[in-house]
Amino acid sequence: MTREKHIVGWVAMAFAVVALTVGAAAFGASVVGHAGWPGSMMGGGYGSDGYRGGMMGGVNSNVGPQPGTPGFIAGTAAAPRVIHIVAGPGYTFSPSAITVERGETVTFVVTTIGPLVHEFMVGPAGAVAADQHDTPEIADIGMMQTKSLTYAFDGTGPYAFACHADGHYEAGMRGTISVVG
């Protein structure tokens, strides 16, 4: 098996774990606070946890219509678009290139796989490259942990994301965010 296939496998597994986690959370919330399922597994609707759509729809906006294509639904402050990012294995982010629509609000849901502890910083590319202290960041995402951060892309970009744990950025742990619209 090639290294690339290994990575694809890990990413698929991580997404599965995230999906199971989100599904369990939605089910728990529906049992406690609602008479019915807060959103269908395959379709639309709003989950009580704030995620848009079902397991195959808006929850994972890594699939489905992307910015600049027909059918795309931009995130708003009230209903951010959810983008899942897998940190690891090693010094990698998957995906490492993201496109957003100008003005939209995105919630990044970041899951670490592998034993390294990662960070997730997002913002203007220059600030992210320089590890500027006031740039939004999630700290200390340990193995199989998932943490999230919501960011409004109000400017023209370029934007970027990165991990600034010791040596990780230098090892290539970074990604690009381009803006359309």
Q: Give me the residues that bind Cu ion (CB under 5 A), please.
A: 118, 163, 165, 168, 173
Our CB check for Cu ion shows the closer of 147 and 168 to be 168
CB of 164 to Cu ion, least distance (A): 8
The residue at minimum Cβ distance from Cu ion is: 163
Our CB check for Cu ion shows the closer of 106 and 163 to be 163
CB of 173 to Cu ion, least distance (A): 5
Our CB check for Cu ion shows the closer of 140 and 154 to be 140
Our CB check for Cu ion shows the closer of 103 and 114 to be 114
CB of 65 to Cu ion, least distance (A): 30
**DSSP state, residue 48:** T
- The CB density around residue 5, as the number of other CB atoms within 10 Å, is 9
Decide: helix, strand or coil at residue 78. Answer: coil
Q: Is the dihedral of CA 77, 78, 82, 88 positive or negative?
A: positive
Side by side, the strands of the sheet bearing 118-124 are: 97-101, 174-180, 159-162, 118-124, 137-141
CB of 12 to Cu ion, least distance (A): 20
Question: Can you tell me the distance from the alpha carbon of 170 to that of 22, in angstroms, rounded to the nearest whole number?
Answer: 32
Beta bridge partners of 123: 160
